Every structure is written in structure tokens, then in C-alpha cells.
Amino acid sequence: MAIGFDYGTANCSVAQLVNQEVKQIPLVGNDYYIPSTLSAPTAETVSEYLFRCLDIKPIGEIGESVLSRAMKMNRNEGIDVQADDVRFGQHALDLYLEDPKEIYYVKSPKSFLGTIGLRDLQLSFFEDLVCAMMANVKRQAEASTQQDITQAVIGRPVNFQGRGGDASNLQAQGILERAATRAGFKQVEFQFEPVAAGLEYESTLTEEQNVLVVDIGGGTTDCSMIRMGPKWVGQVERSESLLGHTGQLIGGNDLDIFVAFKNFMSEFGIHSLRKSGLAIPITQFWNPIAINDVQAQRRFYGSDNLIELKSLMGESQVPEKLARLIKVQQNSLGYGLIKEAENAKIALGEQAHYEASIDLKNKLLTIPMLSEHIKDAIADPTRKIQALVKEALAQSQTKPDVIYMTGGSARSPILRDAIQSVLPSTPIVAGNYFGSVTAGLARWADLRFR
């Protein structure tokens, strides 16, 4: 059986084509989407979980070294790895929020995969994370369909990291392919996510159109200019229809980070001064919420930084605010801040006021917010998304007949207005914000594996 597999930054979903109709496959009860999150007692639990509980073996000397090190550390910590130690999706987040300091938690590992400069051991560990998540999705989908799933077309962004990063793209796609193979898929292919979204839209067309697909996902924004219509449906070779692609590491996660940075960090001492008049380093307020930056997270949550933060609190003109930042560091609250920023972003897309609520464990901090606060906060990523649209237009030298917007963050009226301002006379249409990529991948899987 072949599926389309959207291994997304925010959520994972899968679908199959049955009698030319896309059928999404439930993954958690009746839910078609599972958040791209994982939790475990420790990071090392994941590698041993794959080997001991799922009989998934590592690849090569590096993978074996990661497993050996994990098993040794687990023994030293007295951890006897069990199947239910590793949680996924909302279950993972719920467990983490109960006690952030005692749980290893990762959101959106896809955001890390293209990072250049990581050591081989780190890359192998990321492969284990992705493999565990893919294996869970595969098992849940097989339980829902009562069929073995052996073939998959997996979506990928145009660029995993920055612009034109060929090395990043090769590294990231390699991790995804090895992880999927280890998870049990016998045949794996990839398709650009905006192209997949376009394929789903194309199935509704009765005439030829030039379509600008704008896919604003959790981790990346991708734009593709595509010739679409009945003459292309069912064509495996369609390079002549693909007129231009642009993409960058800007997505819903980045919007949430900017919302938290611009609206929450004043309560933790950003732009405050030491008694000497010198500023507190700005990185101390960015790093805790930069959940898509491995190195930033490591720097903020390292034990040596706790010493630095305590020193800064002693020197600060507003020590009570730096004390809150220390609470974030000691209790690993960065993900909680980003979750509340996401809640605010969604709420203020539909209403004028919202009161953000941040749990500091010993105190509840409330921050009143207005809809214009979101627009101001995401001004920089908004400009970058507009630049991607302009770049796709320049590449293709084509004026679109329609703009097809998809991805969870495409619901934002701020981003829709920003894209409309680039092409004021071109109509914007939208389909299933969360499911169009998955549906298009399912259609491509049916073509490639029939």
C-alpha cells in the first residue's frame, strides 16, 4: 500500500488515494493530524527505545556508537526503557507541561535537519528522533487501514535551511530517507510540498491556469509557480509545468517566536540595563524561545548559563524580571512560552483582544495583547515571505492567474493581506489549509507506485 506522508514541522498526516478520491487516514482516534512532538525520560531513551522496543537497528558505526552510548547512560541513570516511555503528539506535550524539567521534549525536529556544522553523532541522533516519529505514524496508519504500508511519497520544503542551501537540502533529505527506511518503508520518494499542494488544487480545475502556490507551513514558506489544468493531470513527467520555486526557513514557528520575543520578553527584562548602565545581552532573551535553533537552546539551558543569569540578576536594575528569566531556564519553560504565543496569534486573528497567560510555576503572569501587536511582531518574517513571492515571480517570468494559499499560517489575515499587496489584482483561493499537501502527496504516490 502506498501513502502520501506529510512529515510536517507542526503536524504529521498521511493519506491514500482510493478510486481517485483522497482518503486521509486517522492517526490518533478519529484525528487525522498528530503534532510533530516527542517526549521521553531522557534524550538517550529514544535510541534505545528504537532498538529494544521496535527492533529498529542503527545504521553504520556512528549509529551503533549513538546506541551504545545511550544504553550505557540509561543504565547509569537506572532507566529500564519500556515501550510507553516514548510519547508522541499531544500526549508528549501534556506530559512535558506537567513537569518540564524532568522530561526530554522536542518539537519539530524537521527544523533542525538542514543545520550545517552539526557533528555526525548529532545527525545520527536526529535520525533516531525522526525514525521514532515516522515509525509511530506508520504503526497508527496500519492499525487504521488494517493494511501493510510499504511505499510513501514524503513531502519536503524547497529549502530546508536558508536560500539555495544544496548541502543543507541533501543532508536533511538524507536523514528523512534513512529514517523512513528504518521505520519500515520499502520504497520512498520525495515531492516538493508546494507542488503537492498544487496537485490537489489542480484536481479541481477544468481549464489551464498559471498558479502561484504559497505554502506557509510550520517551519518553512515555499512558493511554486506551476502550470496546471486537465492536460497535466496524471502526468509523471511535468518538468515543463514547473516554472519556479523559492523557499526559506520561515514558518509558523518563526511567527510564534517573534510574537513571544516582541510581546513577552519585556516581562523578563529585555532592553533593561545593569546598574553600570550596560545593556543585558539580547541573546539571553532570544535563545530560550528559539526552539528551531539547536545551538541557541543548548547555550541558554546549559548549566554555565545559569551562573551567568544569576550574575546578571545581581547586576540588573530590574532583578525581579531577571528572576523570571531564571525560572524559564531552570524549569525549561521556553516551549510553554511559544505555545502561548501561538495561542495569542490564533486568537488575535479572529478577535481584537487577548490576555496571554504564562505559567511560571510559582506565579501566573498575564499580558494583555491587541491584534496590532501581532502585526508589529511578525513584520520582519512578513517581509521575507513577500520577498519569496517576488522571487518566484522573477524566476518564472509569469503572472499568475490565481494565488493558491495553503499551510496552517496561511489562515492569518495579516499574511494574506501582505501577499495580496504584492499581486493586488490576482485572486487568492484556499483549500484545506492543513490537508492539501497530504492530499497532493497521496495523488503523487498513486502515480509513482501504481
pLDDT of residue 11: 92
The separation between CA 344 and the C-alpha centre of its own chain, rounded to angstroms, equals 18
- Beta bridge pairs of residue 153: 4, 189
Q: What is the mean pLDDT of each run of 10 residues along the chain (450 residues)?
A: 94 94 95 95 96 95 95 94 95 86 87 86 95 98 97 93 76 96 97 92 93 92 94 88 91 94 97 95 96 86 94 97 96 92 93 94 92 95 96 96 93 94 96 88 93
Which domains occur in the chain, in start order? 2-193 (3.30.420.40)
Per DSSP bridges, beta strands 37-40 and 87-88 are: antiparallel
pLDDT of residue 162: 57
pTM of the model: 0.86
Model confidence pLDDT, tens digit, residues 230-254: 999 888 888 899 999 999 889 999 9
pLDDT of residue 306: 95
Strand positions, DSSP E, 289-390: 353-359, 364-370
Q: What would the DSSP string read from start to end of 60-121?
A: HHHHHHHHHHHHHHHHHTT----GGGSEEHHHHHHHHHH-GGGSEEEE-GGGGTT-TT--HH
